[in-house]
Every structure is written in structure tokens, then in C-alpha cells.
Chain A
Amino acid sequence: MAESPFKADIERVQKEYSEKMTPGAIATIPGSSVINKTGSWRVFMPEFNRDKCVRCYLCYIYCPEPAIYLDEENYPVFDFDYCKGCGICANECPTDAIIMVRETK
């Protein structure tokens, strides 16, 4: 899997994220969502078949997280730190290049 393009942000927020309680538990450094990895509650995961993909980007557009980004050749890449396994990408994909399989690890 390619490296997340948010890596720099993640590192910055991890470094700066205040441990001190603010009034109203307000997060004063935006971007804390990048360190709360929401991929942990996934039951099914998308499995990608590059040969079937026509690079229409429907999966990329519809992913609600958004946990899909595009590699240098504009093929979708899935970020399993944040993919919640909703299956919307598989549902939208016109060529069945994405199928949902049970999370094994």
C-alpha cells in the first residue's frame, strides 16, 4: 500500500496535539481526526482488482471518509487507517473492480 499523503499532517498533529484539557474539551489544534484512526471498527474491507478498473473515480467520489486517494497512474488506493468498510465504493463501482471481503486480520 502506498504511503498516506497525510503522513506529514498526522505527524504534526501527533506532536502538537494538546494533552491539556481546554474549556469545553475543545480541540484547539485542528486535524485531530487524522490521529483517531476510524478504520478499527471495519468488518468488511474492499478488495481491489486493478485489471477491472476503468479509472472512473466513482469510488473516490463516493467514499464518505474519504479513505480513497489516487496513485501516480490515477488508480484508487485505499487507506485502511480510515476505511470503515461501508462498501459504498464496491456498490458504486461499475465494473466490479471492488468487492467486499471479510476482514481477516
Chain B
Amino acid sequence: MPMRKVMKANEAAAWAAKLAKPKVIAAFPITPSTLVPEKISEFVADGELDAEFIKVESEHSAISACVGASAAGVRTFTATASQGLALMHEILFIAAGMRLPIVIAVGNRALSAPINIWNDWQDTISERDTGWLQFYAENNQEALDLILIAFKVAEDERVLLPAMVGFDAFILTHTVEPVEIPDQELVDEFLGEYEPKHAYLDPTRPITQGTLAFPAHYMEARYTVWQANENARKVIDEVFEEFEKRFGRKYQKIEEYRTDDAEIIFVTMGSLAGTLKEYIDHLREKGIKAGAAKLTVYRPFPIEEVRELAKKAKVLALLEKNVTFSVGGALFQDFSRALINESEKPKIVDFILGLGGRDVTFKDLDEALAIAQKALNGEEFNEVNWIGLRKELL
């Protein structure tokens, strides 16, 4: 029987790692994800997880150890956030380029300066070009489930890419919710043993990994990472379907809420989706035709699903906790790319909000709604809007 326990997303991530049975976990503690490796080290110390737990002196070493272990052919896991993920940056490219299915749990946190330990998505968003798959959890259950899903997708022979699963700092990492822990046997059946076919350490079948590529080969090597990302689209759908069959919880790349007759669809990721659904109910009571959509998968970017979503609305209002300077938010860029050649497309309005742990309230969403309504009515509107700014400080 699956067990229900009240826990933080950090604990849920540690439980997911335990269920996935990685052979090597290398981690360096960083707020707000410290509890993930702490809990895993307890599992290992108590003999509940048969794995090598490597204590390292930095996140750069943590991911390097994971690359080494994964290249030797075992399932590998780590957790980090913010500056820690940024410190992993160069190795993230290496992990993707070497096609190593490592999974990282990330407690999404703002980047310095100024130092800020609270939530936004700038850390993972900044790594969107590394080739890693990216999933975003709305709640603690999703944090657990998406890590299992991430392993399954990452290790698929058609994909073989590393994956990160983001869950919002403090809003999820440190907040308790009931989480269903699936049975070990079911997870074993779902994930199976990781059988490395391309990257392994075996003196009887010698290979060279981490090779040098001259200009004659580098582009082709990068293209295989591109192709693997493209392949991941289909594999993710298949894995979502299988997960639902086995565990009963349904996942989609884009999850919609009351979008059927919506004129304005708000789009977001992570825990903000919870607030947003409440807000949509509130708008519907007032007779405003609004809906919500949540991206569970951000890389590969769900281009087809975005096009389908766009057909349903006159305005897409993007709510994002990150900045791409001089452009707006990263989602704004991605949505623009997905829709640029569509003959009929909704207006896209971008909202940057909730940076560095700033609460996103109904008042902020009202501010966004007012601008989205201007776009709906054909009035002039700002394409990029910073919501909830304390103008008195500027």
C-alpha cells in the first residue's frame, strides 16, 4: 500500500531519490535544498538506501562526481539551488554533451547580487541552454513524482539526457503537505535497473568518454543533443501515460484549468499555478472569462502544446519569476518563438513578478489582469510589465 506522509518538498525529493535507488549521490548543502542530501545521507546511514554518498567541497565537485559516476554507468542524483546550480554551470554542459542521465533536484531560488535565499526561477531558467531537461513542480507530490519521471525519461535510450526538477524555494521546499509515497515494488517496475549501453566503465569493452572534437565533428555532436531533446517530447508523453497507469496521477506538459471559453489565459509554472487557479475561480465568479495553464515541462519547450493552447485564447498572459534582460522573461521569448509563424495568434503580454520571494497576491494578479484586458480590448499595452514593484523605492 502506498504510504501517505506529511512532508516538505525537500523530503519528498529525498524520498524520490530513495525510491529510484541511485548508486551514487554527491551533494553540497545549499539553502533551501540542504535537507535533500541530509535526508538521503540518513537513508544511506540507516541502511535503507544502498548507495555511495559522496560529501564534496562544492557544487562544482558534486556535479563532477555525478558525471564521473554516471559515466561509469550507474544511476546518479544530486540536489542544489541558486548559486550552487550556477557553480555547476560548466559541468552541466558536459553532462548533457556526454549524454549522462543524471537527475538534479533544484529548490528554485533567486541569484545574487543582492544575496537572496527566497524563491524565483532565475537559477534553472539560466541553465535552459545546457541541454538538460527541465520539469517544474507545483506541489510536494509533484516534486516526488517528477523526479521519478525525470529518471525514466532521462534514461530512455531515445533521450539519454540529464534532467532537473525544480520546486520553489520555501514555498515548497520548507512547507509541509501530505505526500503519497508509492510502493517500492511499483517504482522498481516503473524505473527498472539502469542498464548503461553507451557510457560505462568496463575494461573488457574499452571506450573513450569526454572526447575532443575538432570542428569537423563538434557541430554534429551538438546536434545529437538537439535531437535527443526533440525525441524527449514523445518520450515524456509516454512516460506521463505510464506513470498515470501505475500510480494514478496524471501529468501533462501543459496542464490547463478552465480554459475552454477563456479569452485571457494566464500561463505560469511551479507553485504559482496553485495561487493562479484560485484566482481564476475568483475571476469566473465575477464573470470574467479567464483560464490558467501551467507548464510542467519547460525543456524541451512544448512548442506544439503552446500552439494548441494559443488557439484557445485571445490573450496569453505570462506570469514569470525570471528576467531575460532587454527581452522580458524567458517564457516570453519561448512563447514568441512558438507562435511567430502562426497565421492567427493571441496577443502575448509578459509579467515579471515574485522575484526573490516577493509574495504574489490577488492584488498583483489584478494589476496583471488590467493590462491583459487592455490587450484584449485592442488598447495600447506594455509588452513587458514588472508587477508589484514598490515604486516609492525607485
Contact = CB atoms under 8 A, between A and B. Distances in A.
Interface of A: 21-28, 30, 32-33, 36
Contact of A30 (B160, B206, B213): B206
B343 to A, nearest CB: 37
B329 to A, nearest CB: 32
B97 A25 contact: yes
B246 interface: no
Highest count of chain B CB atoms <10 Å: which of A23, A24, A33:
A24
Contact of B220 (A21, A30, A33): A21
Nearest to B157: A23
A33 B212 CA distance: 10
Nearest to A21: B220
B220 A24 contact: no
Contacts of B97: 24-25
A10 B98 CA distance: 25
B187 to A, nearest CB: 26
Nearest to A30: B206
A7 to B, nearest CB: 21
Nearest to B71: A24
Contacts of B198: 22-24, 26
13 contacts: A21-B221, A21-B224, A22-B198, A23-B160, A23-B198, A24-B98, A24-B99, A24-B209, A25-B97, A25-B211, A25-B221, A26-B209, A27-B209
B207 interface: yes
8 nearest A-B pairs in the assembled complex, by CB-CB distance? A24-B99, A27-B208, A25-B221, A24-B98, A30-B206, A23-B99, A23-B198, A21-B220
Given A30-B206, A32-B211, A36-B212, A25 B217 contact: yes
Contact of A27 (B160, B211, B223, B224): B211
Contacts of B221: 21, 25
A21 B214 CA distance: 13
A64 to B, nearest CB: 17
A25 B199 contact: no
Contacts of B220: 21
A23 B131 CA distance: 13
Interface in B196-252: 198-199, 206-209, 211-213, 217, 220-221, 223-224, 228
Give chain B's interface residue range (CB within 8 Å of chain A). 20 to 34
A33 B207 CA distance: 12
A28 B207 contact: yes
Contacts of B273: none
B208 A30 contact: yes
A33 to B, nearest CB: 8
Contacts of B269: none
B49 interface: no
A92 to B, nearest CB: 28
B93 to A, nearest CB: 12
B207 A26 contact: yes
Interface string B149-186: 00000000000100000000000000000000000000
Contact of A26 (B199, B223, B228): B199
A21 B217 contact: yes
Contacts of A22: 198
A7 B239 CA distance: 50
Contacts of A33: 208
A27 B71 CA distance: 13
Contact of A24 (B100, B212, B217): B100
B234 to A, nearest CB: 17
Contacts of A26: 98, 198-199, 207-209, 211
Contacts of A36: 212
Nearest to B223: A21
A27 B99 CA distance: 13
Given A21-B224, A36-B212, A27 B207 contact: yes
Contacts of B206: 30
Interface in B304-360: none
A99 B228 CA distance: 52
A62 B245 CA distance: 62
Highest count of chain B CB atoms <10 Å: which of A22, A26, A32:
A26
A61 B41 CA distance: 44
A35 B276 CA distance: 59
A103 to B, nearest CB: 22
Contacts of B213: 25
A24 B208 contact: no
